[in-house]
Amino acid sequence: MKSAMLKILGVVLFAFLPLPIVVVAVSSFVKNGYFTMPLAPFSLRWYEEFLRDDQWTWLLLTSAGLAVVVALVSTLLALLAALVLNEKSFKGSGLVENLVMLPLVFPNAALGVAFLGMAGLLGISGSYLGIVLAHCIITLPFAYRPILNSLRKIDGSMSEAAMSLGSTPGRVLWTVILPLIRPGLITAFIFCFIISFDEATVTIFLVGPEVTTLPIRILTEIQERGSPVIAAISTFLVLITIAIVIFLERTVGLELFSAPEKKSRP
C-alpha cells in the first residue's frame, strides 16, 4: 500500500512539474495567445510575429553567438584544469578544484552583484565582454565535471605507451587523450552553451543601454507588455533545449555528470 502511494505521488509530481511549460506552449499556438477553456482556434500568429521581427532575430543570434564563445572558452579552461588536477598531485590541488566548483555554491543574484562590481573595476560594465566573462565563470563547473570524468576513464598505460614510442607530451595529448575524451568535451560544450544561452539572473546586472540578450529582453517584455509573442519564443527555446539534451543523451550520454571516481595513486 505504501509503495503504491509513493508511485502515485511520484506520477503526480512529475506530471505537475512540466505543467507550466505545457500551459505556455499551448498559449503560443492559440489565436488569442492565452490559455482558456475551451481553447481558442489554432494559430501560428505569434510565431510569425517572432520570426518577422528583426529585433528578436538579432537578439536570438546575439545570444547564440555569446553562448558559443562562452562554451568554447569554458571548455578550454575546464580541459586545462582537468588535465592538471587529474595528473598532478600537489599541495592545494583540492583547494583549486573547490574554486572551480565554487560558482555552484553561491546564489546567482549574489554572483550578479559580485560580477557587477568586478566589471566596474575592469571598465567593462555594460559590455558584451563583461557578460562573456561572467558566463564563463558560471559555466566552468559544468564543463569541468564531464571532462574530468572522461579523463579518469582513460587507461594511463595508453599515454605511457605513446611516450615510450617517442611521442612528445603535446602529441600524446592531441592524438591519444583528446580523441578518447571527445564525449566529455562535447558534453561540456553543449551544456555550457545551453546555460549561457538561457542565463538571465546574472546577466540582468551586466546589460547596458545598447547591450542585452534574448532572455533579458523576454523579461523586459513580460514586465512592460506581456505580449503573447513571449509564449512563442519561450516554447521555441524550450524545444531547442529539449532537442539538444536528447541528442546529447543519445550520442554521448549524461552519466559524465556523475561524481568522478577518485584515482588510486601509488
- Write the pLDDT tens digit of every residue in 171-227: 777 777 888 888 888 889 988 999 999 888 889 888 888 888 888 888 888 777 777
In a domain, 66, yes or no: yes
Q: Is the pLDDT of residue 90 over 70?
A: no
Nearest partner of 143 among 94, 64, 249, 70, judged by Cα = 70
Cβ 122 vs Cβ 107: under 8 Å: no
Task: Return the CATH number at 60.
Answer: 1.10.3720.10
Nearest partner of 197 among 218, 214, 221, judged by Cα = 214
Q: Which range marks the domain in which residue 69 is found?
A: 55-257
Whether cis (ω within 30° of 0) applies to the bond prior to 38 is yes
Give the pLDDT of residue 191: 87
d(CA 154, CA 223): 50
- Write the pLDDT tens digit of every residue in 71-81: 999 999 999 88
In a domain, 20, yes or no: no
In a domain, 209, yes or no: yes
Number of domains in the chain: 1
d(CA 234, CA 25): 8
In a domain, 228, yes or no: yes
Cβ 89 vs Cβ 265: under 8 Å: yes
Please give the backbone phi and psi of residue 30, each rounded to the nearest 5 degrees, phi first. Answer: -115, 155
Give the pLDDT of residue 265: 44
In a domain, 161, yes or no: yes
In a domain, 108, yes or no: yes
- Write the pLDDT tens digit of every residue in 100-142: 888 888 888 888 888 888 888 888 888 899 999 999 999 999 9
In a domain, 181, yes or no: yes
Q: How far is CA 203 from CA 37, 238, 246, 259, in A?
A: 37, 19, 27, 29
As a three-state string, the secondary structure of 204-261 is: HHCCECCECCHHHHHHHHHHHCCCCHHHHHHHHHHHHHHHHHHHHHHHCCCHHHCCCC
In a domain, 50, yes or no: no
